[in-house]
Structure 1
Amino acid sequence: MKHPSLPGAAVVAALTLLSAPALAERVTVFAAASLADALAEIEAGFEVETGLEVAASLAGSSALARQIQQGAPADVFISASTAWMDALEKDGLIEPGSRFDLVGNAIVLITHGRGAAPLEIGPDTDLAGLLGDGRLAMALVDAVPAGIYGKAALESLGLWSAVEARVAQTDNVRAALALVAAGEAPYGVVYATDAAAEDAVSVVGAFPADSHPPIVYPAAAVAGRANPAATVFLAYLRGPEARAAFERQGFAVIAD
């Protein structure tokens, strides 16, 4: 296969390691749902630059990790939680030496519609009062990273007990965002990047960074797949084009 001009030395180096017969034409990427917009942009650039195809599966990190544990054919995993990547690494399902921290994020409180008055989120925030008779949309609070981070923040601020029974849990953070965007839930807890991608919601406030564990997205190759194209894709994720795409979507780039 003839490849067009490439964006960086890391991708060039990755490609030179691959013989033509060994280079698969597709790389299958399992990625956290919150990466949807950034990854769509990155996929397009990667395919043009390398001639390789990306097949992306987007869902909650917990669901994707479990699928990999059950033998799903993923070449690359990008998690919204270090814990789920740790679990796969412990099971021997991550290619040694391929893991790195990719981007960071923040969690925010959103409401339906535009132009909502901002507030400072803290121990005195009357979140239950804000909800009225409505529900608080969140990703699964004991499994999906966005929900885990959100619950940790609410517990840290002493707000969880007042709203716990009124949380509408969804399979992933984009589904929680959709509930608020549609007006089916008056408020929700999502990533800052998700809120920025949806015109039908507004950010009420950001949760203090010290109220929850750092939000870090690690990326790695899945062990045992024998698809060298995964190395090319991971190299591209660390390059300038991917960095720019992540930053446009509001992520804090960690990878260098």
Structure 2
Amino acid sequence: MNRRDFLWSALAAGAFGGGIAQAQSRKAPLVLAAASLQESMNAAADAWARKDNPRPVISFAASSALARQIAAGAPADLFASADEEWMDDIQRRGLIVPGTRADFLGNRLVLVASALDMKGVPIQRGSPIAAMLGSGRLAMADPDAVPAGRYGKAAFERLGLWPALAPKVVRAENVRAALAFVERGAAKYGVVYATDARASRKVRVAGIFPANSHPPIRYPVARLKASTSPDAEGFRQFLLSRDGKAIFARFGFTPL
């Protein structure tokens, strides 16, 4: 088995089971998408399939993990990242089709708490968030690699809160894993996107990060040079279309 076949087999076994093999035979697009896009990207794939197209197969993970898979040779068709830096990384490596990269969504960063915790948390310079945590933990996607964590760390640093909060951080694999920590009660607060908070009934928004406290949250999408599906470009264009963006808007994203 050559390296490409091995990567394909590993990706299929780890993320999709038998669905990958079926999709490959139908040449359905394989989409690597940021974890925060789970509900919305699946809804877009369903809408695309209703137009008599093969339903895209989607692998959700942290943008950092997906970018590393692409760099390692994963035979995917499209990449939708939760930030521009990881798309920049694979673009510098020459792994995307020129002219296919586009920013298509925006989001907001929020602090969530248990749905039973009704206290608001001010996200501003001098915020007592560290004191409010007490012995509790703050869940974040890995602030050194994953977009949601990097946005959160940048905001806390700008507001002068990071030194007090850093020792209390529990690092999660991706933003949905950070959300799960709060849902399970393993962390008192969590830094997630507004769309993630909206997707869960077990948490509530306790605070909203000022938009100017972190880099703009932009989701770029691009077609990969490894793409083999004839439907990949059509699905990419659908995501960027008015109808496609309307789907994401229903889930709380801001179309760009």
**TM-score bracket, shorter-length normalisation:** 0.7 to 0.9
Partner Cα distance (1:102, 1:190) in 2: 19
Partner Cα distance (1:126, 1:154) in 2: 12
Q: Compute the displacement of 1:242 (Å).
A: 1.8
- How far does the alpha carbon of each residue in 1:160-181 deviate from its partner, in whole angstroms, 9 at most, with x for none? 0001011000110000001101
Q: In the alignment, does 2:113 pair up with 1:111?
A: yes
Q: Compute the displacement of 1:245 (Å).
A: 1.4
Give the number of equivalent residue pairs: 232
Q: Secondary structure at the match of 1:134?
A: coil
Q: Secondary structure at the match of 1:86?
A: helix
* Contact 1:80 1:217 (C-alpha < 8 Å) held by counterparts: yes
- Give structure 1 stretches of 5+ with no counterpart: 1-22
Q: Compute the displacement of 1:225 (Å).
A: 2.3
1:28 to 21, 27, 30: 30
* Contact 2:122 2:129 (C-alpha < 8 Å) held by counterparts: no
* Contact 1:24 1:229 (C-alpha < 8 Å) held by counterparts: no
Q: Compute the displacement of 1:243 (Å).
A: 1.6
Q: Compute the displacement of 1:248 (Å).
A: 1.0
The aligned counterpart of 1:127 is: 129
Residue 167 of structure 2 aligns with an amino acid whose one-letter code is A
TM-score of the aligned structures, taking structure 2 as reference length: 0.88
* Contact 1:25 1:53 (C-alpha < 8 Å) held by counterparts: no
- Give structure 2 stretches of 5+ with no counterpart: 1-24
The aligned counterpart of 2:205 is: 203
Residue 56 of structure 1 aligns with an amino acid whose one-letter code is I
* Contact 1:104 1:252 (C-alpha < 8 Å) held by counterparts: yes
The aligned counterpart of 1:192 is: 194
The aligned counterpart of 1:44 is: 46
Partner Cα distance (2:133, 2:121) in 1: 14
Partner Cα distance (1:164, 1:119) in 2: 17
* Contact 2:139 2:191 (C-alpha < 8 Å) held by counterparts: yes
RMSD of the TM alignment (CA)?
1.4
The aligned counterpart of 1:181 is: 183
CA pair 115-186 structure 1, distance change in 2 beyond 3 A: closer
TM-score of the aligned structures, taking structure 1 as reference length: 0.88
Partner Cα distance (1:65, 1:242) in 2: 23
Q: Compute the displacement of 1:239 (Å).
A: 2.0
Partner Cα distance (1:116, 1:134) in 2: 16
Taking every aligned residue pair, what percent have the same amino acid on both sides? 47
The aligned counterpart of 1:55 is: 57
Q: Secondary structure at the match of 2:182?
A: helix
Partner Cα distance (1:45, 1:69) in 2: 30
The aligned counterpart of 2:138 is: 136
The aligned counterpart of 1:73 is: 75
* Contact 1:95 1:220 (C-alpha < 8 Å) held by counterparts: yes
Q: Secondary structure at the match of 1:232?
A: helix
Q: Compute the displacement of 1:47 (Å).
A: 0.8
Residue 68 of structure 2 aligns with an amino acid whose one-letter code is R
* Contact 1:45 1:241 (C-alpha < 8 Å) held by counterparts: no
Deviates more, 1:63-72 or 1:42-51: 42-51
The aligned counterpart of 1:5 is: none
Q: Secondary structure at the match of 2:60?
A: strand
- How far does the alpha carbon of each residue in 1:126-154 deviate from its partner, in whole angstroms, 9 at most, with x for none? 11111111100000000000000000000
Q: In the alignment, does 2:160 pair up with 1:161?
A: no
Runs of 4+ in 1 over 4 A off after TM superposition: none
Q: Compute the displacement of 1:40 (Å).
A: 1.4
Partner Cα distance (2:117, 2:125) in 1: 24
